[in-house]
A and B are shown apart, each in its own frame.
Chain A
Amino acid sequence: MKNKTLKLIPAALPLLLFSVNTWGQAAGEAASSPYFYDSMLSYGMLALAAVVFIAALAALYNLLNIMVKVQQIRIYQEQGIEAYVEEMKKPQQSFFQRLYKRMTNVVPVEKEEDILFDHEYDGIRELDNVLPPWWVAMFYITIAFGVVYYTYYHFTGAGPSSTEEYKMEMERAEKAVQAYLSTQSNQVDETNVELLTDEASIAAGKAIYEGKGTCFTCHGMFGEGGIGPNMTDQYWIHGGGIKDLFKTIKYGVPEKGMISWKDQLKPAEMHQVASYILTLQGTNPPNPKEPQGDLYQQVDNAAPADSSSTEVKGQDGGTIGMSE
C-alpha cells in the first residue's frame, strides 16, 4: 500500500513543475514593473499561492491514503484473511509522523541509555544521536546553492554583474516612464509654462515653498531673502517672468548655490511654486534683503507669445520670443 501511494508523488511532480513555470513568468512580469509595491505584492501572492497549493497536495495525498486503506481492508475481509484485518485496523502513523521520524531519526528519550557515551565532563554526558537527516539535507542543499549561485554569476558569465543589473533597471524604468508619458497630455516645461492664478495651485505652490521644496531656507519664509535673493522686489538676477523662474528652479544656478530641482520636483510642482513666488511681488515683508540683479519690467501676463524679460542683458536666446 505504501508503495502504491508513493507512486502518486512522481505523477504529481510534472504538474507542480508546470505550475511553477507559469508562476515564474508572472513573477518576471511583476519584477519588470516600475512600481515597487506592485512587485512586492505579486511576490507575496505568489508565495501564498505556493503554500496553498502544497497544502492542497498534502491533503489530497492523505485522502488517497485513507481511501486505499479502506479499500484494502475490504478486500482482505472478503478474502477472509483475519490476520491482515487485525493489522490494518491498528492505528497507523500519519504521513507527517513518519516523515518526522525519518527526518529526525532520533533515539527516544527512554532508550537513550543505549547511546550514552561513557565519558563525562564535570557531570555532563553526551549522547550518540546521529546528525538529524533534515539538517544534513539542509546543509547539502545550501552548499549546492552556493556552488550553483557562484557558477551562475562568476564562471558562466550568465548572471549579470551589479552594474549590468543597474543598466537593465535603468533601461526598464526609462521605457516604463516613456510609455506612461506618452499617455499623458503634454508636459509643462520652460518653453510653454504659463502663470497659474487659481487658488488651489497657489496654495499647492506655497506648500511646496514651505515644505518639500525647502525654498524658504534660503529665500526666507516670506520671500524676503537670506542666503538667496529677495523675491518680493522687482529686481531679478535671472529674470522675473514665469518662464524665467521655472527655468531657474528647474536647472538651478549651481555656481551661485541654487540647486537644480528637476529631479526632486515634478514639472507641475515647479509650475505651482514658481507661480506662488510671483504672488509675493510687492508684499514688503520684514527684514528684506537688498535688491540684487536688474529691474525687471513686469509684462502683462495676458500679453501673447512672450512673457520673458525685457531687460537689456536678456536671457537665454532660446526662450525669447518663443511662441507656442
Chain B
Amino acid sequence: MAQVEKFSYDNAIVRKFAYASIIFGVVGILVGLIAALQLVFPSLNLGIPETTFGRIRPLHTNAAIFAFVGNGIFMGVYYSLQRLLKTRMFSKALSEFHFWGWQAIILAAAITLPLGITSAKEYAELEWPIDLGIALVWIAFGINMFGTILKRREQHLYVAIWFYIATWVTVTVLHVGNNLELPVSLWKSYPLFAGVQDALLQWWYGHNAVAFFLTTPYLGLMYYFLPKAANRPVYSYKLSIIHFWALIFIYIWAGPHHLLYTSLPDWAQSLGTVFSIMLIAPSWGGMLNGLLTLRGAWDRVRQDPVLKFMVVAVTAYGMATFEGPMLSVKSVNAISHYTDWTIGHVHIGTLGWNGFLTFGILYWMLPRLFNTKLYSQKLANAHFWIGTMGILFYAIPLYWAGWTQSLMWKQFTPDGFLQYGNFLETVTQIIPMYGLRALGGTLYVAGYFVMLYNLIKTVQSGSFIGDEAAEAPPASTWAVHTGKEHWHRWIERRPVQMLIAATIAILIGGIVEIFPMVMIDDQVPKIESVTPYTPLELEGRDIYIREGCLGCHSQMVRPFRSETERYGEYSKSGEFIYDRPFLWGSKRTGPDLHRVGGKYPDSWHYNHMLDPQTTSPGSIMPPYPWLLRDELSTKSTAAKIRTLQTLGTPYPDGYDQIAVDDLQKQAKIVANSLRKDGIDDEKLEEKEIIALIAYLQRLGTDIKPKPQAGN
C-alpha cells in the first residue's frame, strides 16, 4: 500500500511570468520594428535623442532577450519544475521577489538605455547598479530552484532540469565575468580589462548569452512541453545525456568566433572556429530529440497549432545552429561579419526558436492554467502562418542585403581600385531590403496581436486555478539503487554533484581562453606611440558610447585588402590598451571608424553631426543636433581620470586636478579650427560636439606618422 502525499502547484507565479513575457514580447518586438523602420526612414527618431537608433537598438535587444525570453524562461521553469519534481516551489517569498525584482530590472533598463546610460557591451549594456540587482535576483531564483529540487518527491532529475541547472550556473559566471567594472559615479563605470582582453571577455559572454539564455533553458522547456503536447515518449534518453554534456562543455569555447580576423591573437580565434564546428552535432542532438519525439504524431502536427509552432521552433533551432558554425569558418566569416547576414541569422534563432517555442507553450499552457480550451484554433493557425511569413520576410531580405553589401565592399576594379569606394553606395543599394525586412517585422507583430486577442479570449472564458492539487509518494519511499542501471542515473539522483559537474564543464573553455589573454603580457604587443586619451577625447568617447555609435560603426579594420584600401592600416591589438570598454562593434551599417582620425576636417564632422545628409547625401544616419546644442559636463572628468588611474592607465599623479584645464585648452583649439571654417557659435568650446570631434580625430592616429607642418 503506497503512501501518497497531497500538495498543490503554485500556478499564480507561472501566470505572472506568462503575462510579463507576453507584454514585454509586444514591447520588444515593436521597438525592434521601430528600429528597423528607422534604417529606412531615419527621421522616425523624431529628432529626440532618447528614440534614436543607437539608443533603442540596445533597448530592443534587451527587451527581446531579457524581458520577453527571460520571463518566458521563468514561466516555463516555474511550471515544469514543480511538476517534474512533484512538489510546490520552495519559497513563495523568493518567487515573488524573483518576479518583481526581474520586472524592476526591466523597468530600470527601459529607463536607462534610452537615456544613454550604457556600458557599451552588447547584451550587457546595463550599468553597474542594475548589474548588482540582476545578480541579486538571479541568486534568489537559484535558491528558489535548488530549494525546490532539494525538497522534491521525484528521486531522479529529468533532462529538462539538467538544462535549468546548467543555465543557472553559467549565467551566474558569465554575468559576473563580463561585468567586472569599477564605478566612476552612480551611472558610469569603466571595465576592469581594456581593449582586446575586454573584447574577448565580452564575446565569451555575448556568445554564451545566446547559448545559456536563449538556448539551454529553452531546450529544457522543449524537453518538457514538446513531449507533453505531443503525448509521445522522448526519442532517446542516451541522446539527451550525450548532447547535454557535449553542448554545455563545447558551447563555452565558441565565443572568439565573434572576433575572427580582429586583433585577437590567432590561437584564440581558431579555438572559436573549431569549437563552433564541433558544436553542430551537440546542437542537432537537441533538434533530433525534439523532432524524433514527434514520430507517430505527425498526423497531429498538421492539425494542432501548438505542435506546429514547436516543430518550426525546433527546425529554426536546427537551422540556426548549423548556420552558426558555418559563419564561424574564417572564410565565410570574412564575408558575413559586420553585415546584415548576422542579423538575419540571429533572428532565425530569436523569432523562430525562442518566439515560436514561447507561443507554442503559451497556447498549450494557458488554457490548462485556466481550466478551459483555447478560444480559437483557427486564430492560432492564422498566427502560425502570419508569423512564419514574418520570419521569412524578415530573414531572406537580410541575407540578400548582407551578401550584396559584403560583395560590394570587396569588389575591386582591374586597375586596383575599390569598385564602390564610397561606403554610402553600398548602403543605398540595400535600403529596399531594409524595407522588406520591416515588412517581415510588421507581419510578425501582426501575428503577435492575433495571439494576444486569442489568449485574452481564452483567459476570459476560463477560471484560473491558482493552486493546482496534486499528489505523489513522498521521498521516504524512494528506492535504494544498487542493481544494474544506466550509469547516468547516479548523477540524476544527486543535484549537488550535477551542479558541480556542470560548473566544471562550463569553466574549462573560459579558463583556457581567457586566462592566457589577461595574464600573459606578450598576448598584446606594446606599441610605443600609443598614449592614453586626453580628458577631452575621453569625454568624447563617453559621448560616443552614450549615443550608441557602436551599434552601426565598427572600430576594427581587418587585415583584408578591401579594408586596408578603404579605411587604412589594419588594427593592431596594441592600439586598444587604453580602450575601456573596447568599442570594436559588431555591425557596419556605417563605415568603420578606427582610422577616421584626421581623415576629414573638424568642420566636416560638425556639419555631418548637424545633418549627415549635407556631407553624405543619401545617408541613413540620423542627425545629432543636440550634440551641437548641449554643453559638455565636466563634473565627473576628474573622477573618470582617477578611476582609469586605478585601473592602470598611466596618467601622471595628480592629473585629475588639472584634467579639466587641459580639456578646456584642447576644446579651444578644436573650436578655433571650426570658427576658421565659418562655424559661428559663441560658446562653441563648451559644447559636446567639440569633445566628440576631438575623439574622432584621435581615432587610429597613434600609429600614423605625424603630418609635418608646412608640407
Neighbour of B295 across the interface among A109, A135, A173, A181, CB < 8 A: A109
**5 residue pairs bridging A and B, Cβ less than 8 Å apart:** A122-B228, A126-B234, A214-B615, A263-B421, A263-B565
Residue A128 is within 8 A (CB to CB) of chain B in the complex: yes
Inter-subunit contact B607/A227 (CB<8 Å): yes
Which residues does chain A contribute within 8 Å of B267, judged by CB atoms?
154
Chain B residue contacts of A184, Cβ below 8 A: 415
> Considering only CB atoms, which chain B residue lies closest to A122 in the complex?
B83
Chain B residues 572 to 614 lying within 8 A of chain A, measured CB to CB, are: 598-604, 607, 614
A-B contact count (CB 8 A): 185
Q: Which B residues, 448 to 506, have Cβ-Cβ distances below 8 Å to chain A?
A: none
A7 to B288, CA, bound (A): 33
Whether a CB of chain B sits under 8 angstroms from the CB of A35 is yes
In the complex, B156 has a CB within 8 A of chain A? yes
Tell whether A163 is near chain B: CB-to-CB under 8 Å: yes
Q: How far is the CB of B210 from chain A (nearest CB, A)?
A: 19
Distance (Å) between the CB of B514 and the closest chain A CB? Answer: 18
Stretch at the interface among B278-286, B378-386, B527-535: B278-286
Are B616's CB and A214's CB within 8 A? yes
Whether B604 contacts A119 by the Cβ 8 Å rule is no
- A44 contact set on B, CB distance < 8 A: none
The yes or no answer to B526 lying at the interface (CB within 8 A) is no
Is A149's CB under 8 angstroms from B273's CB? yes
Tell me if A156 is interfacial: C-beta within 8 Å of chain B.
no
A161 to chain B, nearest CB (A): 5
Tell me the bound Cα distance from A257 to B678 in angstroms. Answer: 14
Q: Which of B233, B235, B266, B267 has the most CB of A within 10 A?
A: B233
- Residues of chain B lying within 8 A (CB to CB) of residue A128: 236-238
Which residues of B sit under 8 angstroms from A256, Cβ to Cβ?
601
A257 to B693 alpha-carbon distance, docked (Å): 14
Q: Is the CB of A154 within 8 A of B616?
A: no
Contact of B415 among A143, A181, A217 (CB under 8 A): A181
- With a cutoff of 8 Å between Cβ atoms, the chain A residues found around residue B607 in the complex are 217, 227
Q: How far is the CA of A125 from the CA of B296 in the complex (A)?
A: 15
Among the listed stretches A93-101, A164-172, A192-200, A276-284, which one makes contact with chain B, having 4 or more residues with CB under 8 Å of it? Answer: A164-172
Chain A nearest CB: distance from B711 CB in Å?
6
A127-B235 in contact given A121-B154, A214-B615, A227-B607 (Cβ < 8 Å)? yes
B412 touches A162 (CB 8 A): no
**Which B residue's beta carbon lies closest to that of A130?**
B238
B residues with a Cβ closer than 8 A to A are 80, 83-84, 86, 154, 156, 158, 224, 227-228, 233-240, 242, 246, 261, 266-267, 269-271, 273-275, 277-278, 280-282, 284-285, 288, 292, 295-296, 407, 410-418, 421-422, 425, 559-561, 564-566, 570, 598-604, 607, 614-617, 677-678, 707, 709, 711
Shortest CB-to-CB span from A149 to chain B, Å, is: 5
- B233 x A125 contact (CB < 8 A): yes
9 other A-B residue contacts (CB within 8 Å) besides A127-B237, A173-B412, A259-B599: A36-B411, A125-B227, A135-B281, A217-B604, A227-B604, A227-B677, A254-B707, A264-B421, A266-B413
Give the nearest-CB partner of A152 in chain B: B270
A180 touches B412 (CB 8 A): no
> Is there contact, CB below 8 Å, between B599 and A166?
no
Which of A40, A121, A150: most chain B Cβ within 10 A? A121
Per-residue CB contact flags for chain A residues 250-271 toward chain B (1 = under 8 Å, else 0) read 0001111101000111100000
Judge whether A145 and B83 touch: CB under 8 Å.
no
> Cβ of A37 and Cβ of B411 under 8 Å apart?
yes
Which of B224, B266, B422, B604 is close to A162, meaning CB atoms less than 8 Å apart? B266
Shortest beta-carbon distance, B561 to chain A, in Å? Answer: 5
Q: Measured between C-beta atoms, what is the minimum distance from A106 to chain B in Å?
A: 8
* Contact between chains at A217 and B614 (CB < 8 Å): yes
| Contacts A109-B295, A138-B281; A255 near B711 (Cβ below 8 A) | yes
Judged by a CB distance under 8 angstroms, whether A142 is at the interface is yes
Measured between beta carbons, the chain B residues less than 8 angstroms from A126 are 233-234, 236-237, 240
- Report chain A residues within 8 Å CB of B84: 121-122, 124
